[in-house]
Amino acid sequence: MQHEQGPISELSGARKRIPPAILAFFIQLGALGLTWLIVQVSLVLFEWRWLGWVLFLLQAVLASLLAIVFRMPVWWRLIHFIFPVAIFLMLQWDVPAWVYLSAFIFTLTLFWSAFKTQVPFYPSLPATWYQVKQLIPEDKPVSVLDIGSGLGGLVIYLARERPNAICAGIEVAPLPWLVSALLSAVKKSSARFKYGNYQAVNLSEYDIVFAYLSPAVMPDLWQKAVKEMRSGSLLISYEFEIPGVAPKWQIQDRSDSPCIFVWEF
């Protein structure tokens, strides 16, 4: 199967811009500046004095609006709104410093790769695992890779349901990778998990590659797949399409659920 790379190359080059985490920082900074400006203008013109919780709410609303202006995904808009509100609540509750440190360390081990890879933690659900299982043949041995395997649920499930398949996952976030490795050991599963970035993996070693990543990285994943994946192999993406490249199959369990996109090489 031949695939055109032209549109993807253009899109990949176009998206080499500010990482979402950096953009989010400047949006919050911009919202803070606008909040200060509004407070100063209202103080001079109307002698208004704002309550503390109103200021935090104003910051949240302005940050969310700026996120919409800069076309950030929906979840980033929610984060922008929740962040100032959460800070206000924490201040009101007088939370001990060690709680902040513990939360920071936990978040870092779970999401620290998102800054570089632009892929947040997206766990797939059993309904998706079942659909992926249907794409794996039962009558011959195949090798399967889950890119961004998270807590390892899909890989462990496939290793159990398709014993002829060699099932592996790769995860760049340390905490999910550690959990998946421990779960595999406890359940005595044949599933194997590697810690690292999928860019370091040769996709030619696998017959089926599954990915549940983010729109930001799909062009790069496609370029790597085109270079490395063998004829007859499958690339499966849950929810996120590859811009400019039509899938061979599109599977949807329910009308209100995300699609599974399948490309054959």
Q: Where in the chain are the domains?
A: 20-117, 126-264
pLDDT of residue 200: 92
Cα–Cα distance for residue pair 25/108, rounded to 1 Å? 16
Tell me if 257 sits within 8 A of 25, measured CB to CB: no
Cα–Cα distance for residue pair 265/249, rounded to 1 Å? 12
pTM: 0.64
Neighbours of 48 (CB within 10 A): 12
Please report which confidence band the pLDDT of residue 119 belongs to, taking 50, 70 and 90 as the band edges.
low
On the 0-12 / 13-18 / 19+ scale of CB atoms within 10 A, 57 is middle
The continuous run of DSSP H or E covering 238 comes out as: strand 234-238
Strands, E assignment, 60-178: 143-147, 166-171
Higher pLDDT, 107 or 33: 33
Tell me if 242 sits within 8 A of 219, measured CB to CB: yes
Mean pLDDT for the chain?
84
CATH superfamily for domain 126-264 = Vaccinia Virus protein VP39 (3.40.50.150)
Q: Where do we find the tokens 């595999």?
A: 184
Neighbours of 237 (CB within 10 A): 22
**Average of per-residue pLDDT across 96-108:** 67
Neighbours of 264 (CB within 10 A): 14
121: pLDDT strictly greater than 70 = no
Neighbours of 10 (CB within 10 A): 13
Please report which confidence band the pLDDT of residue 2 belongs to, taking 50, 70 and 90 as the band edges.
very low
Please report which confidence band the pLDDT of residue 18 belongs to, taking 50, 70 and 90 as the band edges.
low
Higher pLDDT, 174 or 209: 209
Which value, in Å, is the radius of gyration of the alpha carbons in the chain?
A: 22
